[in-house]
Structures are given as C-alpha cells and as structure tokens.
Amino acid sequence: MTVKKIRESKDGTVIMITPYAVLFFVERGKKMIDIKLIRENKEIVKDNIKKKFQDDKLSLVDEVYNLDIKYRESKTSGDNLRSEKNKISTEIGSLMRDKKIDDANLLKSRVEEINKELINLEIVETNLEKEIKEKMMQIPQIIDKSVPIGKDDTENVEIEKFGEPNVPKFEVPYHADILARINGLDKESSGRTSGTGFYYLMGDAARIHSAMLSYARDFMIDKDFTYVIPPFMIRSDVVTGVMSFTEMENMMYKIEGEDLYLVGTSEHSMIGKFKDQIIDGGELPITLTSYSPCFRKEVGAHGIEERGIYRVHQFEKQEMVVLCKEEDHMDWYHKMLNYTVEFFRSLDVPVRTLECCSGDLADLKVKSADVEAWSPRQQKYFEVGSCSTLGDAQARRLGIRSKTEAGTKYLYTLNNTVLATPRGLIAFLENNVNEDGSINIPKVLRPYMGGKDLI
C-alpha cells in the first residue's frame, strides 16, 4: 500500500493518506497513555496488550521505550550544550570588556559550533518525538481490573436482566412487516435516492421515531443533563482525539476536499468541544445530553440490511456525555448505565446489561457495558446501546484538563447511549405490537403522540 505525506501544519500535524482512506494522523501531544508508564513499568503495558489479545502490538512497547531513551538523551545533550553556550556567552562578555578580542573570537567560533549541533539535535528530537507519538497512538488504554478477559463479544458477561422477556402467543412479525402494516417504511424509494442502508420512515412510524427521541431528550434533561445540539461535522484532529485508527477507518465518512468528517455519534463533537481547554475543577462534573444524526460506513460489520433497518448507514441518536475527575468516573459509569436501563423499561422493553470483555473493548476504552433489548420475535437480546468510560485517553489526546488544588490534571470522559434509533424503534415495536398489527403507545410517549394510546 502506498503511503503519501500530504502536508505538515505549523502545529506539527502530519497527515498520511492511502488511495483508500486516511490512514493515520500524528499530532504533537496526542497519545493514549502516559509515557511515564512505559518508562517505569512497561510490563504493565505489555500485560494489558496481552489481555486484549493484540500480541502484534507488543513490540511497540519496546520500540517506544528505546526511542524514548534516545529522545531523552538528545534532550539532555541539548540542555548541556545550551548550558555551555550560556557559560561561554558570559565569558565572551568578560573578555570583550577586558579588550581580549582574539580570545573572545575563539569562544565565538565554539558558540557557532554549538548552534549547528543544536539545530541537528532539534531535528533528531522532532523526528523521534513524531515516531514515539505515532507508535503510542496504537498502544491501547489500560483497562480496568474489573474487565473480564475474553477474545471477542462472544465472551461478554451478562450483568443483570430487567423486566420479563415474554414471548406472546402469536408470532411477532419482522419489524419491517410491522412498519409495512402502518405504511411506515419505504426502502424502495431510498434505494433509488441513496442506495442500500438508507430508508424513509413515513406517517405514524416517523412520528413514533421522533416521539422516542423527544422523550429521550426530556428524560435526560430531568436527570439534570444540559441539552446540546452539536456540529454534525468535525475536523480530523478531533476525530483522532476521540477514537482509534481502526474505528475511524471502519466508521467515518470524510467530506471530499475538506478537513471534515460526518459524525458517527455526537460524542465526537461533544468531547471535541473542550479541546485544548483548562476547566476549573469547581465546574465538574460536566453532564451533557446531545442529539445528532449519525453516519457510519459499517465496514467489517455483518452486512447492511437489504429489507430491514437494524444496520444502516444513517440513524439518529440521543447521547449522554460526562467529563469528571478521575475519582468520580466509575460512579458516573454505573449511574449512566442505569439511566439507559430505566429509559427502556419506561417504554415497556425488557433489557439486560452485558460487561464487555477485554477483547471487545475499543483501544481507548477502560471499561464498557452494552445494553441489550429483548426481541420477542427472535427470542433473544440485541444491542441498543453502549456505556463506556475512556479514562483520560480522549482528554490526553485533545488536551482537556482541569485546574484543581492538587494541580492541573487530565479529565476523565464517559459516554453512553440514551437512545439510538431505528434500533430502539425496533425494540419498541416488537415489544408493543399486538396480534392484529396495532401498536400500543406507553404512557411516557403519549404526550409526544398527540395523546394517542394505540396505532
């Protein structure tokens, strides 16, 4: 694969691109973990990589360790040369005052030599720094000790079930057929306008969809979260700050000819909102709930649905995002997870929570749990949301810090799905459809449906 350097900006950003997609970005200061951990105990980092079954990355740790030694040696040499230069400059001043011009000129030639050496050292340091950052961006975040060890999502661990996963006496139709009965779905037209993976929601189906999102918004506002509508496009330096390279390649749509990407979730622009900011500790925690359309390529997924709307390129989502102190992040993690459970139970949808195992965690995540809704048609659960704490990984990459009495520290960031629809819509339909094809409207949605209790 041919890799070409497109440009290097003033802040040190290097953009590398392949014929297929943006491959990676290296920016000053961006890294996933603190390099001190590799300096002081690289075996912890290696053990973490093994727990995530990414043994191909083990060599990165030693490479970073050795490059860092060279980098610090170069910095030390530079510091010593600068100290020598300062000392010589003082001596030159004294010699000039004493009219010892020849002696002063000899020392000046040494200063010129030092300046040349410093220039060479700075080039070496810059190259080493970029190489270190590039490799460190590929080393995964240290997972929480409570995360179960497993290779992939088949080894995720059930935490708890909420609500009775009932199976009606009648056969529950496929969600596309439920929607067809109320003239609510048109994929034939979307195929003509946009291709596979898109859809038109019509009439009451579209209204239910909007009602669920409006209810999700108000549900979170009632939990004292601030409602936000963020930008739906973000720059590359934000993309690489909030997600790993693999996620970026598999998910993000790039705007051709511009340094802009369509958001795959509003979390991206919500975390990016605080890029390079120092937040007063007294303002923490910051609790936000955001709405956005979401756009995903779904590369490597199980295929885009031809008929239904379970896996699509475009959907809408209500998200919750929290920025907090390190000591509070796990409390917020459990609180946020419970909010999503409470939300779906208020829609009469049984759910369960699953602890994601080590091999199923994206590289930036410290700990994550999925919320799965019961499908009476399939008689099994399917994913409708995910709650994650990313430690200080995103904050470290984006330079988001807080000022406290103990000093300036990177913040911890968390995100969780309140509602992602149409998946949430599918869960609602299957659990509220009647044998005659009518659909029950739970009390919490009726104010958003003009008071209707049945469709």
Quickly list H helices, 137-202.
175-181, 187-193
The residue-averaged pLDDT of 236-252 equals 81
- Segment 106-120, tens digit of pLDDT: 888 889 999 999 999
The residue-averaged pLDDT of 443-452 equals 95
Query: Residue 25: what pLDDT?
Result: 36
Query: Residue 12: what pLDDT?
Result: 37
Give dist(CA 24, CA 399) in Å, integer.
Answer: 19
Give dist(CA 34, CA 75) in Å, integer.
Answer: 19
The residue-averaged pLDDT of 128-140 equals 91
Q: What is the residue whose two structure tokens read 């040494």?
A: 110
Least confident of 21-25, 193-197, 321-325, 364-368: 21-25
What are the Cα distances from residue 211, in Å, to 178, 182, 203, 372, 452?
18, 16, 12, 21, 12
Spans of all domains in the chain: 1-25, 33-136, 153-449
Which helix or strand (DSSP H or E) is residue 46 part of?
helix 35-51
CATH fit for domain 153-449, picks 3.30.360.10, 3.90.1720.10, 3.40.109.10, 3.30.930.10: 3.30.930.10
Q: Would you say the pTM of this structure is higher than 0.85?
A: no
Query: Residue 375: what pLDDT?
Result: 95
- Segment 292-303, tens digit of pLDDT: 999 988 755 555
Give dist(CA 375, CA 384) in Å, integer.
Answer: 11
Which helix or strand (DSSP H or E) is residue 108 part of?
helix 101-136
Query: Residue 306: what pLDDT?
Result: 67
CATH architecture, domain defined by 33-136: Orthogonal Bundle (1.10)
- Segment 199-231, tens digit of pLDDT: 999 999 999 999 999 999 999 999 999 999 999
Residue 361 corresponds to which amino acid?
L
Query: Residue 300: what pLDDT?
Result: 53
- Segment 88-100, tens digit of pLDDT: 988 888 888 888 8
- The tokens describing 3, both together, are 């890799």
- Report how far Cα 455 is from the mean position of its chain's Cα atoms: 38
